A = this chain, B = another copy of it.
Amino acid sequence: MKYYKCGGETFELTLNPFPFKCKRCKGNEALIEIPSQGIKVCLTCFNQIFENRLKNTIKRYRMFRNAKKVGVFVSGGKDSSALLFSLKKVFPDLTFQAIYLNLGIRYYSDLAEETVRKLCQEIEVPLYVYSLPKEEGFCIDHFVHTMFKNKICSVCGVIKRYLFTKIAKNLSIDVMATGHHLDDTVSTMLTLFFQGDFEGIVRLGPVLPPLYPGQATKVKPFYHTPEKEIFYYTALNKIPVETCTCPHGEITPSKKNKKIIEEWEKENKQFKYQLLSVFLKKLIPLLKTHPDYKFSPSEFKSCVKCGEITSSSDEICSRCKRVSLIEKLEDKKLELTPEKFKEFIENHPKDDWMVFDLREKEDFEKGGFDGALWINPEIVQASYRKLSKLFKPYRNKTLFFYCYTGRLSYLLTLKLRKLGFKAFNISSPERLLTG
């Protein structure tokens, strides 16, 4: 099994049973090596070790103390899907509520929603879906039209955290579990450390108590679980996960630190745990007991626009500030139907626009759109620097792209928008080519 992570990395698992028995139960055939421990075990023992760690983490930090309803935001990715699956298995009598945020990301959000629906049906957990485009009339992709075009992941984080809080309150969720794992925590801590943001590190603990009455407690049951083992658990238990990746996926400093930590781990299997322990047992207690440090914002007020509670020093909360940029847009379009595209080219001189075919060369040669230029579909993977150079001659034109399904050409459209090009995707390309 192969899994494509956000930002381009992949995980792979090929199962070759070992020619000996499980080192733990000594009964079944050994099937998999636990990366963080180096022992080779059978599937049953792997699951037991994984689920025991989850149970112990929840117990150790008293995550579910007095919880009446535990909410799990499921994105369709491996971490949150494995979290919901394992929680339901380990705590069959607890009330869980799955929530899916459909952020309206074209060629992605709807696919992921289907995957989450499938998972929830399988394990019989009620699912609540909140659709950003339906409820609020905009989607994350629209931010490529704003000053945040190169910070989509950061804007998306603000919008999601806002909705997490609001939805949890509306659904009377008192504990909200997220899929943040050991690798996430340690690499983010290291990034914040390098930036000197010690206050940020303190906020990365396993449990975040409510900042004001009515807010849910946020907990991270995978706090001590390595990412690779979550992937193994997902693959071995055939948990439905979305294999398409978000088109906005970026390589962040924290992802770079993950790689550096993995380099260290090659020599010291316990490195992640060791580093976590430096932060949890040395740095954070040092900060928490220091007379000059203060951590929780002292004041909360209601945002004058949306009415939700905010710790922002402004009258308007961070989410509303960002959404107002979208509201000001006259035209949010990133994609045209073949009919609208044809209307455009009929009304504009030939010199003002270009259309590109992103399919295999032989299909283009058999018949592309009249006047289209072929470009190698692999270009979508090129760096921003390279894309910028390649499309420089067309800086002042309106650019249209199509491929087989719309997915690849949409990805390129987004990337070029982030570089400031006036790019559009053509949807339903089959109607373009036959119509």
The residues of A with any CB-CB pair to B shorter than 8 Å are 193-196, 198, 256, 260, 263-264, 267, 271, 274-275, 277-278, 281-282, 286-287, 289-292
Inter-chain contacts of A195 with B (CB < 8 A): 278
B282 & A196 in contact (Cβ 8 Å cutoff): yes
22 contacts between A and B (CB under 8 A): A194-B264, A194-B271, A194-B274, A194-B275, A194-B278, A196-B274, A196-B277, A196-B278, A196-B281, A196-B282, A198-B282, A198-B286, A256-B267, A260-B260, A260-B263, A260-B264, A286-B286, A286-B287, A286-B290, A289-B291, A289-B292, A290-B290
Complex interface: chain B residues within 8 A of A287 (CB): 286
The 6 closest A-B pairs by CB, nearest first: A196-B278, A196-B282, A260-B260, A290-B290, A198-B282, A194-B275
Q: Which residue of B lies closest to A293 (CB)?
A: B286
User: A267 — which chain B residues lie within 8 A by C-beta?
Assistant: 256
Please measure, in the bound complex, the distance between the C-alpha atom of A198 and the C-alpha atom of B291, giving whole angstroms: 18
| Number of copies of this kind of chain in the complex | 2
Docked pose: A54 CA to B179 CA in angstroms: 49
How many angstroms from the CA of A292 to the CA of B282 in the assembled complex? 12
Q: Are B290 and A289 in contact (CB under 8 A)?
A: yes
Given the complex, which residues of B lie within 8 Å of A290, measured CB to CB? 286, 289-290
CB distance from A217 to the nearest CB of B (A): 28
* A333, chain B: closest CB distance, angstroms: 35
| A260–B267 alpha-carbon span in the complex (Å) | 14
- In the complex the two chains form, what is the Cα distance from A292 to B285 in whole Å? 11
Question: Which residues of B are found within 8 Å of A274, using beta-carbon distances?
Answer: 194, 196
Chain B residue contacts of A278, Cβ below 8 A: 193-196
Contacts of A281 in B (CB 8 A): 196
Which B residues are CB-close (under 8 A) to A196? 274, 277-278, 281-282
Distance, CA A193 to CA B201, complexed state (A) = 15
Give A412 to B287 CA distance when docked, in angstroms.
Answer: 49
Tell me the minimal C-beta distance from A201 to chain B in angstroms.
11
Question: Bound state CA distance, A350 and B358, in angstroms?
Answer: 76
When C-beta atoms are compared, the residue in chain B nearest to A263 turns out to be B260
**A286–B282 CA distance with the chains assembled, in angstroms:** 12
> Bound complex: CA of A194 vs CA of B196, how far in Å?
16
Interface centre among A267, A271, A290 (most CB of B within 10 A): A290
Task: Please measure, in the bound complex, the distance between the C-alpha atom of A274 and the C-alpha atom of B264, giving whole angstroms.
Answer: 21
Identity of the chain B residue whose Cβ is nearest the Cβ of A274 in the assembled complex? B194
**Chain B residues, CB < 8 A from A275:** 194
- 15 more A-B residue pairs beyond the given contacts A194-B278, A260-B260, A286-B286, with a C-beta to C-beta distance below 8 A: A193-B278, A194-B271, A194-B274, A194-B275, A195-B278, A196-B278, A198-B282, A198-B286, A256-B267, A260-B263, A260-B264, A286-B290, A289-B290, A289-B291, A290-B290
Q: Which residues of B contact A289 (CB under 8 A)?
A: 290-292
Question: Please, how many angstroms separate the alpha-carbon atoms of A414 and B196 in the complex?
Answer: 44
**Considering the chains assembled together, what is the distance between the CA atoms of A264 and B256 in angstroms?**
9
Q: Which residues of B contact A292 (CB under 8 A)?
A: 289
Smallest CB gap from A291: residue in B: B291
Residue from A193, A195, A198 with most neighbouring chain B CB atoms (10 Å): A193
Interchain CA distance A277-B195 in the complex, whole Å: 10
Residues on the B chain within 8 Å of A256, using CB = 264, 267
Please indicate which of the listed interface residues A198, A263, A281, A286 has the most CB atoms of chain B within 10 Å of its own CB.
Answer: A286
